[in-house]
Amino acid sequence: MAILVDKSTRLLVQGITGKAGGFHARSCMEYGTHLVAGVTPARGGEVFADKIPVFDTVFEARQQTGCNATMIFVPAEFAADSIMEAVDSGIELIICITEGIPVIDMMRVKAAMTGGKSRLIGPNCPGIITPGQCKIGIMPGYIHKPGKVGVVSRSGTLTYEAVWQLSARGHGQSTCVGIGGDPINGTSHLDVVKMFNDDPDTEAMILIGEIGGTAEEEAAAWLAENCKKPVAAFIAGATAPPGRRMGHAGAIVSGGKGTAAGKIEALRAANIEIAETPADMADALLRRMARA
């Protein structure tokens, strides 16, 4: 099994005729993802990669192809509307790669999606991959191997580092989810660890967080009460000066909350093994697994 995506996923790409959208759509296809449609307004009727139909609207693409997931590569000023178009068309899984979306736009999206059936991953994220089955996003597919470790992360590059370490040590991944580093996103650490906990084929997890917000503490509190699977974690930004935004828009400590020390303390209290450096992520999980 896996979470969220597998061989049955039927992918749409919004912005498929753009340079980035087209490049990564081809990469997903080459990995084996079942790409069924693209959307670019006013480009309906064209064909991508000699076989993928392009539509003017997500609704048309959904009606004609039965797509149940979408990958969004559109400029930031139009991204919120693209997300809502996918929601209104009934797309179950929405992966928004676009970065730089205004916070107020994401506030409106978050409010509009509350209680609905669509799930948003991102924005400003690398995407999601179930190794050997489906890749939706910008991650390098070749470093991933099928296996039993679930990975959830706010950072794309740290996700790749953790995956490479796991694969090099002979531990594949069930699913890897990059939830994005913006202050308002669609899917949290807690959402993903709950899914991993329920997945019988995910036997352990790596959680990668960073300064800013309280999502990691919330996940730690839930894991302490509900999860028996081995978990390791790394928190980026321990040396960041207080009050300074570091990299991701969400990586800012405010009002004394969101510090690396506070997150690490909460994770340790939940019996989660802490990686002291990025190079220690896989080994931290192996140490925790040895004690399980």
Cite the active site residues. Answer: 248
Helix axes 76-88, 58-65, angle to 10 degrees: 40
What whole-number distance in Å separates Cα of residue 253 and Cα of residue 240?
9
What tokens appear for 27 in the block? 């990469």
Q: How far apart are CA 107 and CA 83, in angstroms?
A: 12
Task: Kindly state the helix (H) or strand (E) to which residue 135 belongs, with its residue range.
Answer: strand 134-137
Helix (H) or strand (E) holding 36: strand 34-39
Closest CA to 134 of 27, 28, 21, 289: 28
Distance CA 19, CA 110 (A): 28
Residue 113 one-letter amino acid: M
